[in-house]
Structure formats: structure tokens, C-alpha cells
Chains A and B, each alone.
Chain A
Amino acid sequence: MLSVLDLTKRFTLHTQGGKVIEAPSAFSFSLHEGMFLGLAGPSGSGKSTVLKCIYRTYLPTKGALHYHSLLFGPVDLAQLDEHRMLDLRRTEIAYVSQFLRVIPRVPAIEIVASALKYRSSASDREALRKAAELLERLGIPPRLFDTYPSTFSGGEQQRVNIARSVIWKPRLLLLDEPTASLDSTAAATVVDILRELRDAGSTMIGIFHDRATMAQLADQVHEFPQQRSVHAYRD
């Protein structure tokens, strides 16, 4: 479903004298439908960079990201037209970042429900009901549903973040340390939810700093060597 070929991402920092940071370089893997690929390796080895390249938050410098989309058939995510990329983000690819970034002054339940409403024909009531169910399962007390997540703890924010991506059952889910700020009970719930999603057919790529959590989910683990290199030169 996804094959990454010689992916290279280079950052040229023009504001710092054209310093170049390369992470990763010539990275390849492929992933078939329904698989859970774990990415492991030291910080700074380029794991998050790979996820961000797939989601196109980063522009890949070299290489190809062949993805077999439901919407458009085979496409190269590295080259795909922006509107089509937005369509894929709306209908099949989701990304759970390490930190919750949401529109201010929107209640938690609204954030989760609107992620579903925006993508399906679910009614307002239906979406709110599903959002409440999911948040409750993730251990967010119902009295917080109508509160803005900016007042939440790190762990609570992360759960809202997970909820708004899993609620619409994306076809490809990119997870960047989704359990990093969670206690063991909450982490176990997240693992259960992700397993159910995979059993229902979703494909996932996940970064976990905790090897035990990774072992519970991943069919295969790709190890990143420490490889970030910095060349200083003027552009």
C-alpha cells in the first residue's frame, strides 16, 4: 500500500548561513495493507521526519513515496498536487502528532466530533455521541468534555489528539509517540483501540519510545541508525 523509496530529507537553514541538516537519507521500506510498522531509533535519527514527509508537512528532498490511494489510485505523495493531498488527508490519511495543536476556544468534545462530521454524513448528535464514547473510554471525565483542551494536562491533551484521529477510522494512520505522556492504564487503552483499528483494516506506522508498547502492536520494526549529519556551508 505504501512504499518509501530512497527518501531523503535535507533542511537548508538560510537564516543560519545556509547550514544543511540531513535526516534521514536514502531511507526505504514498504508496507502492505493492514500492517503495523514500528519505527525505532535514537532521538534525532529521523523517525518523525519520515512521518511528516508522508503527511507532507515536510517536503521530501529526494526519493518517492508511492501510495496506493482509494481516491486516486497509485500516487507519489512526494509529488502530489496540494489539493489532492488535502483530499487524502480528509478521506484516508491521519497523523497524530506528539502535541495537540487545536483551534483555541473549541471544547474537547467538539474537536473530536467535528473530525468525524467533517468526513462523514454523521449527524451532529451521532458525532457527539461517538466522540463522548471515545473520550470516556480514553479516561477523560465527562465533566471536561465541554472544556477547552488548552486547560488540560499533557496526557489528557494527547488523548484528545488520539481520539480525533481514530474516530474517523483512517485508512493509513501515522502515529508519533502517541503514548509518550500517558500513564500505563491510558497507554493500555490506546493500545487496545489501535489494535481494534488495525483488526478493522487500518494500516499504521508508529513511533514509540517504549519498546514494550511497540512490541504489543508492531508486526515489524524498522531500526533507525544514529545518522543525522550537519554540513555547514554557505548557499
Chain B
Amino acid sequence: MRDQPLLSARGLTRFYGTGCVSCPENTGPAAATNRCSACGTIVACAEVSFDLYPDETIGIVGESGSGKSTVVRLLHFDIEPSAGSLSVTIPHGAGRQSGNGQVHVQHLLDGTADVFGATAFERRMIRNTFMGIVYQNAAAGLRMQVSAGGNVAERLIAGGWRSVGAMRDRAAWLLDKTEIPLERMDELPRNFSGGMQQRVQIAKALSNSPVVLLLDEVTTGLDLSVQARVLDVIRSLQREFRLALIVVSHDLGVIRLLTSRTMVMKHGRVIETGLTDQILEDPQHPYTQLLVSSQL
């Protein structure tokens, strides 16, 4: 019934520091810290494993510093893992709007290779062709001194596009999908409101028709009506493009709205996973219970 998982992550781990044999027991929920008392290493995340299937939406919840953004950044190859593996299964021909990137990396996409072991070029190809990311801070995902349309085009070029006319059409189409008025396409995103900047980021992230979209606290800090509009855009695009999503948020409302399965993280470890309605209505771990009962 189900296809193979798109992404299969095993034991994702990221240290900041030298690391020592005591790190595993000195950090995590039981130790109530991310910092190893023996060597001072920060364990941003450790032993995170999951499968993401086509069309599926997984939520990652947890407080700041729980490691949820680290997981997403590892998946997007923004940072290198200290340990762990990631295999990717993408049938030939997916990533419809891509340039020629797929040709170079197809041998890595049959689910058997650990893509963390691929070259920097290959990883960039995989990212630019099949993944999109939207960061909490628009400045991390957009170049503020380049126009909204230019930001989208930049990602298209990275994905192998070359025709200026085709890129401009594609950018206009995407900005329209994310409800950015076309007459503002040539303006700089720094003149945009926070909600608009997020929508430009979404347009950029979707430019190569990614198979997986990573959303890192995309609505945090936006006021409620703007947040609603951004979420509406995400939901309709998710349905239209049959995207697999990983949604990182500390907002349980966003998680309930967008996801079907949820992982709860604390001090760099996954402490609980389950169906989203089960996590919200019958949380098992003391921390998840606290989180759910603290929801307004």
C-alpha cells in the first residue's frame, strides 16, 4: 500500500565540541541538559530516527534548544552530522520543474546510499532539486538586497534553469500562488511585511517543485491574522503539489492543523512519537503532558 519512505533518517546526531564517551549519558532528558558535564560538548541532537513517506506531514515539537531546528538543518545539509545516516528514495522523473540536477544524483536516490556520505556537490544537487526550506527568520532564507523575483530565480538557477524568460514566468507564477502582488515582484523583500517575507520564502522554497518541504517555525512571531494567511497558503500548496512536509513548531495549534504524525523533542532527544491526535489527547511523556496542558 505504502511506497518506500522518501527520507529515512537513522541516528541523526550533531555535537558542538570534541565529544567524549560520557556524552550520551550526561545529556538528554534524564540528565536535563544538552551539555556534557565531562567535556563541555553541546549535544544539539542525538539518535534521531524517522521515516518520511510521500504525501506525509510530520511535526516536530519541543521548546527552544530541544534540537528540532538542528534536525531540519541536518536534513537540508546546512550543517554536517556528527553521526547518523540519511537515505533518500526518489523515483526517476520526480521534481518536475528541475533542471538537469537529477541526472547527476539519480544513483544516490534509490534508498540504499547514505547521502551524508555524498560529495558536497551531490548534496547540493539533491537539496536544490528535491528539497525546499522555509526558515523562521526570513533573512536566513532570503537575500534582502535582491528582489522577490530575483530570490526565486536564484534558487531556479541553482536547480539548473537557464532561460531568463522561463524563470521570470515561473517566479511570477509562484509569487501569485503565495499571494504576493505581481507588481511587487521587483521590489526588495526588506520592504515587505513579515508575513509577506515568509510567503516569498515559501515561493522560493517551492521553485524547483521540491518533493520535501521543511518548515522551521514559519509562523512564529507573526501576528495571528498574518499567521493564518501563511498557514492557508501552506495548506493549499501542500494539497496542490502533494508535498511531504516536516513542520517544526513550538505551537501545538500549527502542529494539529498541518501534521498527521508528531515527534516530541527535549534536550536533543526524541522523547515521544505518535499520531498527532494521540500526542495531543493522550500524551505519555511527562514533558509532553506539561506542553499539552500548558496550551492556552
Residues on A lying within 8 angstroms of B by beta carbon are: 11, 13-15, 52, 56-59, 71-72, 82-87, 103-105
- Encoded as 1 (CB less than 8 Å from any A CB) or 0, chain B from 255 to 293 comes to 001001100000000000111011001101110011001
Q: A14-B289, A83-B53 are in contact. Are A59 and B232 (CB under 8 A)?
A: no
Choose from B2, B285, B293 the contact partner of A83 (Cβ within 8 Å): B2
- Select which of B53, B273, B278 is within 8 A of A58 by beta carbon: B278
The distance in angstroms between the C-alpha atoms of A56 and B261, with both chains bound, is 12
The yes or no answer to B228 lying at the interface (CB within 8 A) is yes
A-B contact count (CB 8 A): 48
B274 contacts A82, C-beta separation under 8 Å: yes
Query: Are B289's CB and A13's CB within 8 A?
Result: yes
A118: min CB distance to chain B, Å: 9
Q: Considering the chains assembled together, what is the distance between the CA atoms of A74 and B257 in angstroms?
A: 31
Task: Identify the interface centre among A14, A84, A105: most chain B CB within 10 Å of its CB.
Answer: A14
A82: chain B residues within 8 A (beta carbon): 261, 273-275
How far is it, in angstroms, between the C-alpha of A143 and the C-alpha of B293 when the chains are bound? Answer: 38
Complex alpha-carbon distance, A180 and B154, angstroms: 56
14 further A-B contacts with Cβ under 8 Å, apart from A11-B282, A15-B286, A52-B282, are A14-B285, A15-B293, A52-B281, A56-B278, A57-B278, A57-B282, A58-B278, A59-B274, A72-B1, A83-B53, A84-B1, A85-B275, A86-B275, A103-B235
Query: Known interface pairs A82-B261, A86-B260, A103-B235. Does A57 touch B289 (Cβ–Cβ under 8 Å)?
Result: no
Instruction: Tell me if A104 and B228 are in contact (CB < 8 A).
Output: yes
One of A13, A52, A56, A87 near B1 (C-beta < 8 A):
A87
Is the beta-carbon distance between B281 and A105 smaller than 8 angstroms? no
Bound together, the chains give a CA A59 to CA B274 distance in angstroms of 9
Hey, which chain B residues are within 8 Å of A72, CB to CB? Answer: 1
For chain B, give the interface size range. Answer: 20 to 34
- Please report the C-alpha to C-alpha distance between residue A83 and residue B277 in the assembled complex, in whole angstroms: 14
Give the CA-CA distance A3 to B287 in the complex, in Å. 34
Name, among B235, B260, B282, B285, the residue most crowded by chain A CB atoms within 10 Å (CB to CB).
Answer: B282
4 nearest interchain CB pairs? A14-B286, A58-B282, A57-B277, A14-B289
Contacts of A71 in B (CB 8 A): 1
Complex CA distance for A85 and B53, rounded to whole angstroms:
14
A-B contact pairs, 13 of them (CB 8 A): A11-B282, A14-B285, A14-B289, A15-B293, A57-B281, A59-B278, A59-B284, A83-B2, A86-B275, A103-B235, A103-B257, A104-B228, A104-B257
Across-interface contacts of B257 in A (CB, < 8 A):
103-104
Closest residue of B by beta carbon distance from A235? B286
| Residues of A contacting B277 in the complex (Cβ-Cβ under 8 angstroms) | 57
Structural contact, B228 and A57, CB atoms closer than 8 A = no
Cβ-defined contact, A87 with B2, below 8 A: yes
A107 CB to closest chain B CB (Å) equals 13
Please give me the residue from chain B that is nearest to A103 by CB atom.
B257
User: Is the pair A56, B286 in contact by a Cβ cutoff of 8 Å?
Assistant: no
Which residue of A is nearest B283, CB measured?
Answer: A14
Cβ contacts under 8 Å, B53 to chain A: 83
- A92 CB to closest chain B CB (Å) equals 12
Write the nearest CB–CB distance from A185 to chain B, whole angstroms: 32
Query: What's the Cα separation between A105 and B2 when bound, in Å?
Result: 31
Residue of B nearest to A53 (CB): B282
Nearest CB on B from A227, distance (A):
19
B232 touches A15 (CB 8 A): no
Chain B residues whose CB sits within 8 angstroms of the CB of A56 once the complex forms: 275, 278
**Distance to closest chain A CB from B292 (angstroms):** 9
Whether A105 pairs with B232 at a CB distance below 8 angstroms is: yes
Using CB atoms, name the residue of chain A closest to B281. A57
Q: Which of B228, B260, B261, B274 contacts A105 (CB 8 A)?
A: B228
